[in-house]
Amino acid sequence: MSRFVRWLLWGIALLVVGYFAWWWFSSMERQTIAIPAPPSYAAQENPLLAAERFLHRRGLAVAGETTLYGMAKRLGHRDVVIVPSFDATLPTGEQQALLRWVRGGGVFVTSITKVAKEEGEDGGDGAKVESTTLVRGPLLSPLKLQVLDADPKHPPMLQVRPPTSPYALSLDDQDSPRLAPSADVPPAWQNDTGGRVLAYRQGKGWLVLLTNDRLFDQGSLSDRDHAEFLWRLATLNPGKVWLVQAGGGAKSWYEQLWAKWPQAILTLAVLILLALWRKGVRFGPILPEAPSNRRALLEHIRASARWAWRREGQAQLLQAARRATQAQINARMPELARLPPDELARRLAKRFDLPQADVETALYKLIPAHPAAFAAAVATLQTLRTKL
């Protein structure tokens, strides 16, 4: 192949590569395709997880709870409680405790979404009158609120300006019942059109009521000004912020036990398993019981003496030895049997060369309480019986 042909082939190859590069850059473009990922297990279990992390990153002390039951006694005077949906079936005592806590300086934020509706009555022309329901319960009944039917003409967005915000915040509105405040108990501040966000001053604290229970969920926290509204509510008080997933009933008894004493329950479970293993599993046949070793007579005597001494039986033992000695004196020396005790002790001590005090103690004095003195008295009586 000549040199000219090689140069020609190289030129053609360069032209082809150049044309392909020009076509690629002119026809192709970079695109970003978002692939939705399912939420994590923690986010599925806790719909307020994003709100909790958001407030934590803003420097607030945040705690998550699953129910309002039993919380009132753990709340601080300047804490904030946010419950997406309040359940009026919460026990009366719990509601009264929460109301006392709010009036003492706490902030309670919740949504009213579970209110039983009443059938509207027929008007004079046959039309249905808008139904109203009075909000009941010790916590909310002092506000004298009424719940009205949802207004289909209500705009999908509302404006509200909390006390800690220098400007109005935009919030989404859902098709939910409206709240009608009483003229006797007007709210301290509310949204621009009313009936969606109502805030009441209760004593030293705040009671804030919403109608959108999904305002602070994972999917809607980033919409409009929901996150800032949450932060403004959380900073109404300088204390701890409690985010409660559910607003109603008590935990079951086993959940309360596990929450209070998990270590004790685990320890009891391990002990039960060990007991079952010990009773149900054996390695080889059962071994016969080993025969007990026989004791010497002296060991039995010592054991009986120790048992009698522990039960204050020294009196019976010494009296028995005294009776045996007196009986031997009566048989061997009848002339001494009628003598007074002190004279008898003196003659026996002189005759058998024994200390008179030891003989008196052994024969008729009080029973010694000390083991050594008791043993000395018994030994003296034994010596007298031997020498008689």
- Could you say which of 203, 231, 255 is where a domain stops? 255
In a domain, 261, yes or no: no
- 215 and 309 share one domain: no
- 57 and 186 share one domain: yes
Residue that the structure tokens 């009521």 belong to: 209
- 143 and 200 share one domain: yes
Query: From CA 86, how far away is CA 158, in angstroms rounded?
Result: 22
In a domain, 125, yes or no: no
pLDDT value, residue 1: 64
- 65 and 139 share one domain: yes
pLDDT value, residue 119: 47
- 92 and 233 share one domain: yes
- Could you say which of 204, 234, 255 is where a domain stops? 255
- 199 and 341 share one domain: no
- 217 and 327 share one domain: no
In a domain, 15, yes or no: no
pLDDT value, residue 272: 92
Do the Cβ atoms of 52 and 241 come closer than 8 Å? no
| Bridge partner list, 170 | 159
- Could you say which of 205, 222, 255 is where a domain stops? 255
In a domain, 356, yes or no: yes
Contacts of 110 (CB under 8 A, 6+ apart): 82, 83, 84, 85, 86, 208, 209, 210, 247
- 331 and 186 share one domain: no
In a domain, 271, yes or no: no
Contacts of 116 (CB under 8 A, 6+ apart): 133
- In tens digits, what is the pLDDT along the chain, a chain of 388 residues? 677 778 888 888 899 999 888 888 888 887 888 887 777 877 778 888 888 899 999 889 999 888 888 788 888 889 999 988 887 777 888 888 899 999 999 999 988 865 555 544 444 444 444 556 667 778 888 888 888 776 666 677 888 888 888 898 888 877 777 788 888 888 888 888 877 888 999 899 989 988 888 888 888 888 888 999 999 999 888 889 999 887 555 566 777 677 678 889 999 999 999 888 877 766 666 677 777 676 677 888 788 877 877 777 777 778 888 888 888 888 888 888 788 888 888 888 888 888 888 888 888 887 777 778 888 888 888 888 888 7
- Written as one letter, the residue type at 204 is K
Query: From CA 250, how far away is CA 271, in angstroms rounded?
Result: 30
User: What CATH number is given to the structural domain containing 87?
Assistant: 3.40.50
Count of structural domains, the chain: 2
In a domain, 320, yes or no: yes
pLDDT value, residue 178: 79
Per-residue H/E/C for the chain: CCHHHHHHHHHHHHHHHHHHHHHHHHHCCCCCCCCCCCCCHHHHHCCCHHHHHHHHHCCCCEEEECCCCCCHHHCCCCCEEEECCCCCCCCHHHHHHHHHHHHCCCEEEEECCCCCCCCCCECCCCCECCCEEECCCCCCHHHCCEEECCCCCCCCEEEECCCCCCCCEEEECCCCCEEECCCCCCCCEECCCCCCEEEEEECCEEEEEECCCCCCCCCCCCCCCHHHHHHHHHCCCCCCEEEECCCCCCCCHHHHHHHHCHHHHHHHHHHHHHHHHHHHCCCCCCCCCCCCCCCCHHHHHHHHHHHHHHCCCHHHHHHHHHHHHHHHHHHHCHHHCCCCHHHHHHHHHHHHCCCHHHHHHHHCCCCCCCHHHHHHHHHHHHHHHHHC
- 85 and 232 share one domain: yes
In a domain, 30, yes or no: no
CA distances for 182 relative to 116, 144, 158, 367, angstroms:
19, 6, 21, 94
- 172 and 304 share one domain: no
- 135 and 84 share one domain: yes
31: left (phi over 0), alpha (psi -120 to 50) or beta: beta
In a domain, 84, yes or no: yes
Measured at the alpha carbon of residue 151, what is the angle toward residues 121 and 245, in degrees to the nearest 5?
105
- 170 and 83 share one domain: yes
State the residue range of the domain holding 358.
297-387
Both structure tokens of 343: 């004279």
Closest CA to 140 of 84, 176, 80, 182: 182
